[in-house]
């Protein structure tokens, strides 16, 4: 792709992270990494929110960052360009829902980096809410194309190079909603459950190939994600047959209303938590990282999941992989 912006940075000296990762905002002052020097990072969905913040944070820590977004040129790319002054940050166009765009954008990133990225952060995502019944096939295809198939496209684009090199790190953005169901969120929870399952599968399959897989499970933070959600949900409601909305009360009444959670917390919690996982030694990186400004309601599920998989896989051919993935 032609839409690339070059920026350079200089930062150094490292810090470490414990391999287990339940991270609350109150603990973020501890062990903040301050070096990703020599690392290359490809990130999707960098027009706003966690993607935008993570791209800048990684670049400020010394990484060569390729930040991607769709529909270039666009004002958000100009904003990122200005914020990235003097950083080694490049912008390429990738629409994760489009095979051709993923291929071209990834090839551009590989050209900029000089090989497969050390790190892929699958961040691009969206939500369309309301009753599951109200989710027409256009909405359903869009959210799965973005939140699930988009991750798979990006993984397939970079993983052969990582395996050939014998090193790599894939970070998939999940959610607390990848473990817990909140009714009325349409296919958001199902897609995040899919991200959790595909990340587990991938982690076990590449555990002996030098490639680590980390899931990030954020709680809610005040970002542009919510306004985007309302725009997409409002469009769905406008084209919906009332028979799919009637009888659900506030669940359908509030679709596209602009009523979003009044959230507190610093969205920078998430980039900082991601950076902690990135600086961990190869083979010791956390498989799941919980990040929240308040609590971690999925913690027990994560613990049970880990113990169950260690027991289930432990005596079979994937026992070593399970123990490596779960740092056991």
The residues, any chain, with a CB within 8 Å of residue 4's CB and separated by 6 or more, are 90, 91, 92, 108, 112
CA-based radius of gyration for the chain: 19
The residues, any chain, with a CB within 8 Å of residue 120's CB and separated by 6 or more, are 41, 42, 43, 154, 155, 158, 168, 169, 170, 171
CB 18 within 8 A of CB 273: no
SS (H, E, C) 97-156: CCHHHHHHHHHHHHHHHCCCCCEEEECCCCCCCECHHHCCHHHHHHHHHHHHHHHHHHHH
Q: For residues 304 and 40, give the distance between their C-alpha atoms in angstroms, rounded to a whole number.
A: 34
Q: Which of 52, 188, 221, 248 is catalytic?
A: 188
Q: For residues 263 and 78, give the distance between their C-alpha atoms in angstroms, rounded to a whole number.
A: 27
Concerning whether 188 is annotated as a catalytic residue, the answer is yes
Q: For residues 139 and 129, give the distance between their C-alpha atoms in angstroms, rounded to a whole number.
A: 10
Q: For residues 328 and 315, give the distance between their C-alpha atoms in angstroms, rounded to a whole number.
A: 14
Q: For residues 89 and 8, give the distance between their C-alpha atoms in angstroms, rounded to a whole number.
A: 6
The H or E element containing residue 298 is none
Q: For residues 308 and 187, give the distance between their C-alpha atoms in angstroms, rounded to a whole number.
A: 26
Token pair listed for 223: 């970002």
Q: Which residues are catalytic?
A: 188
């Amino acid at each position: 792709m032609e839409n690339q912006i070059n920026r350079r940075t200089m930062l150094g000296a490292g810090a470490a992270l414990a391999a287990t990762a339940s991270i609350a905002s109150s603990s973020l002052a501890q062990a903040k990494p301050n070096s990703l020097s020599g690392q290359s990072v490809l990130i999707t969905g960098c027009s706003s929110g966690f993607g935008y913040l993570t791209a800048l944070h990684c670049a400020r820590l010394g990484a060569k960052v390729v930040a991607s977004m769709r529909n270039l040129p666009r004002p958000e790319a100009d904003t990122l360009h200005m914020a990235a002054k003097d950083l080694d940050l490049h912008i390429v166009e990738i629409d994760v829902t489009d095979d051709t765009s993923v291929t071209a954008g990834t090839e551009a990133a590989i050209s900029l980096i000089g090989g497969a990225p050390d790190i892929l952060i699958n961040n691009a995502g969206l939500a369309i809410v309301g009753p599951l019944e109200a989710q027409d096939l256009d909405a359903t295809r869009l959210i799965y194309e973005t939140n699930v198939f988009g991750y798979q496209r990006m993984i397939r684009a970079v993983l052969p190079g990582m395996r050939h090199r014998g090193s790599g790190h894939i970070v998939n953005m999940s959610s607390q909603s990848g473990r817990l169901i909140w009714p009325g969120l349409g296919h958001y929870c199902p897609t995040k459950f899919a991200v959790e399952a595909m990340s587990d599968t991938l982690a076990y399959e590449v555990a002996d190939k030098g490639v680590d897989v980390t899931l990030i499970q954020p709680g809610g933070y005040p970002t542009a994600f919510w306004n985007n959600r309302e725009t997409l949900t409002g469009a769905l409601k406008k084209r919906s047959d009332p028979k799919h909305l009637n009888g659900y009360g506030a669940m359908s009444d509030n679709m596209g209303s602009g009523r979003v959670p009044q959230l507190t917390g610093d969205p920078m919690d998430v980039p900082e938590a991601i950076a902690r996982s990135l600086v961990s030694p190869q083979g010791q990186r956390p498989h799941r990282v919980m990040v929240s400004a308040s609590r971690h309601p999925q913690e027990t599920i994560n613990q049970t999941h880990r113990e169950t998989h260690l027991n289930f896989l432990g005596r079979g051919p994937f026992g070593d992989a399970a123990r490596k993935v779960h740092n056991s």
